[in-house]
Amino acid sequence: MPRKEPSRLELALAAEVEKYGYTVTPTQLERWRQRLWLPRTKHWRGPDGAIRLEIVNRAIHLAMLSTQGRGIGWGGWVF
């Protein structure tokens, strides 16, 4: 089954993470949500409509842990 197109919110989070020098793909974000390392996308926005800073920080930390050839393992659960 083909993957669905990434949402604008996923692309926006990937762009926010990239501002800090890390690369995150929509596929990674989906995988992290499935493992409950990131909340569902409906919880990503703050009252002002912007992506909450804690979501950006968590995605950055997950990106730091998931370098090529290395699984996150237990590190995803320490949040």
Per-residue pLDDT reduced to its tens digit, 1-52:
457 889 999 999 999 999 999 999 999 999 999 999 999 999 999 999 999 9
Res. 68: pLDDT tops 80: no
What 3-state DSSP class applies to 74? helix
pLDDT at 66: 83
pLDDT at 65: 87
Helix, strand, coil percentages for the chain (3-state, nearest 5) = 50, 5, 45
Q: Which amino acid is at 36?
A: L
pLDDT at 1: 44
Q: Angle at CA 76, nearest 5°, toward 62 and 26?
A: 45
